[in-house]
Chains A and B, each alone.
Chain A
Amino acid sequence: MTVHLLWIINQSGQLIAKSSFTAPENIGELGAKPDLQLTMSSILFSTYGMSQELTPNANPVDSAGMTLVECEEHNIHIYETPTLVKFVLVSDSRTRECNALFRELHSLYVEYVMKNPFHIVDEGGIGQPIRIAAFTGAVKRAVDRYHAAGVLTATRK
């Protein structure tokens, strides 16, 4: 129940926000080289489109991209809003789903980013990174509450 990393990718495929919640060594090379996250987030955006193309046995109009990538040490959770903004969470491999946390992060995004009159969402197809200190603080508090809830659950088990 540990969340290591949060990415927010806009509809053009640009990384507009990233937050780390644990030590950098928990996410391997992405922690050692933070600039690599820009490249890997674009790659994840492309693979999201690929996963839609590969859907067998479905109405071609109904296409949904990947929601969970299971790796040996991590799980990558992806949540797409109706406005095509993608929230990506990298967690440990024991975390099965993060839907409640995604909804909370989406609410924080609406409250702190969308309602900010000085934040430019997408100017001529080029997105602006989210540099709002209140949003960053709120995200960290939400993830800390999530970690605390996870600890309680683990203790109860």
Chain B
Amino acid sequence: MWFLKPTTRNKVEVVLLVINFCCCCCCCFFCCRQARTEPLFTAPPSHVNASCQKSRCILSKCHLDSLPSSLALLEGVGMTLYSIYIFNRYGDNIFYMQWNRTSAVQEGEASLVAGFIYTLQHLSSQLSSSGTSGLRAVQTPFYKLHYAETMTGYRVALLTCRNVSTALVQGIFIEMFRDVFHKTLTRDLNYRHEPGCMITNPDFAEGLEALFRSKQLLE
């Protein structure tokens, strides 16, 4: 029974879940690329996917009374940063930093974030009349994910609490790419913009934290 499963998941199950999500997305994109009419009666998702999602959702409803207190805590703290991911044009996670995060980083989480933002960006580009990707933020009751992308293919995903304004973070992203990224990476002769090259320049991390502090996102 799904509700008897333990809430903590081992690594193998998480990896299977990630692979399952990736396969599901790849399958959908394959159908999209072939331009076939997908039948209305499709097979249901696999047991792992359905049972995990159902169990989490229903348990969440059981804990509905705790939601206001959680949200009150988030509201009382003010603006909180959780983590930031930067991906290059090849999809590699070249930078990660976390601040006020208490939950453990799951294995393969960077790939999950990359797939998540890529999928939503694809969906938003298909909705827009101009055809360009216009994804800016994704809001949930617990966090908010801000997204920006440069014309050269660098993508940044910033996880914050839900109080942070989308316009504020979009402005911070512009300043980040124009000042911090440009000064510490574009002008860095040792950094090559190739697949698999991580950002190891400590000046970038320091400049990023200084920028967030100047915007009162960090104290």
CB-contacts of A49-105 with B (<8 A): 49-74, 76, 80, 82, 84, 90
Inter-chain CA distance A104–B211, complex, in Å, is 44
Q: From residue B51, how far is it (CB to closest CB) to chain A in Å?
A: 11
Could you tell me if B140 and A62 are in contact, using CB atoms closer than 8 angstroms?
Answer: no
Could you tell me if A42 and B28 are in contact, using CB atoms closer than 8 angstroms?
Answer: yes
The residue from A11, A12, A15, A30 contacting B127, defined by CB atoms under 8 A apart: A30
- Given contact pairs A56-B83, A67-B139, A71-B136, enumerate 10 new A-B contacts (beta carbons under 8 Å): A28-B129, A43-B123, A54-B116, A55-B140, A58-B142, A60-B8, A62-B142, A73-B130, A125-B44, A126-B41
Could you tell me if A72 and B128 are in contact, using CB atoms closer than 8 angstroms?
Answer: yes
B135 within 8 A of A: yes
Contacting residues, chain A, for B28 (C-beta < 8 A): 39, 42-43, 46
A82, closest chain B residue (CB) = B61
Inter-chain CA distance A74–B56, complex, in Å, is 29
B40 within 8 A of A: yes
Inter-chain CA distance A54–B135, complex, in Å, is 17
B70 within 8 A of A: yes
Could you tell me if A26 and B129 are in contact, using CB atoms closer than 8 angstroms?
Answer: yes
Inter-chain CA distance A14–B177, complex, in Å, is 40
Could you tell me if A46 and B143 are in contact, using CB atoms closer than 8 angstroms?
Answer: no
Contacting residues, chain B, for A72 (C-beta < 8 A): 124, 128, 132, 134-136
The residue from A26, A28, A59, A127 contacting B131, defined by CB atoms under 8 A apart: A28
Could you tell me if A35 and B37 are in contact, using CB atoms closer than 8 angstroms?
Answer: yes
Could you tell me if B123 and A44 are in contact, using CB atoms closer than 8 angstroms?
Answer: yes
What are 8 residue pairs bridging A and B, where the CB atoms are less than 8 Å apart in the complex?
A12-B44, A13-B44, A28-B129, A30-B126, A39-B38, A40-B126, A52-B140, A59-B70
Could you tell me if A29 and B21 are in contact, using CB atoms closer than 8 angstroms?
Answer: no
A47 within 8 A of B: yes
Q: From residue B119, how far is it (CB to closest CB) to chain A in Å?
A: 5
Q: From residue B125, how far is it (CB to closest CB) to chain A in Å?
A: 8
B59 within 8 A of A: yes
Could you tell me if B103 and A55 are in contact, using CB atoms closer than 8 angstroms?
Answer: yes
Contacting residues, chain A, for B125 (C-beta < 8 A): 28
Q: A39-B38, A90-B127 are in contact. Are A61 and B63 (CB under 8 A)?
A: yes
Could you tell me if A13 and B139 are in contact, using CB atoms closer than 8 angstroms?
Answer: no
The count of residues in chain A whose C-beta lies closer than 8 Å to any C-beta of chain B is 56
Inter-chain CA distance A44–B119, complex, in Å, is 8
Q: From residue A50, how far is it (CB to closest CB) to chain B in Å?
A: 4
Contacting residues, chain B, for A65 (C-beta < 8 A): 57, 140
A38 within 8 A of B: yes
A residues near B (Cβ < 8 Å) are 11-15, 25-30, 35-36, 38-40, 42-44, 46-47, 49-74, 76, 80, 82, 84, 90, 125-127, 129
> Range of interface residues on chain B?
35 or more
B63, closest chain A residue (CB) = A62
The residue from B50, B98, B115, B142 contacting A50, defined by CB atoms under 8 A apart: B115
Could you tell me if B142 and A73 are in contact, using CB atoms closer than 8 angstroms?
Answer: no
B150 within 8 A of A: no
Inter-chain CA distance A127–B42, complex, in Å, is 9
A53, closest chain B residue (CB) = B112
The 7 closest A-B pairs by CB, nearest first: A72-B134, A71-B124, A125-B44, A12-B44, A68-B139, A70-B137, A71-B134
Q: A43-B123, A47-B116 are in contact. Are A54 and B60 (CB under 8 A)?
A: no
Could you tell me if B126 and A36 are in contact, using CB atoms closer than 8 angstroms?
Answer: yes
Q: From residue B157, how far is it (CB to closest CB) to chain A in Å?
A: 9
Q: A43-B25, A57-B101 are in contact. Are A70 and B126 (CB under 8 A)?
A: no
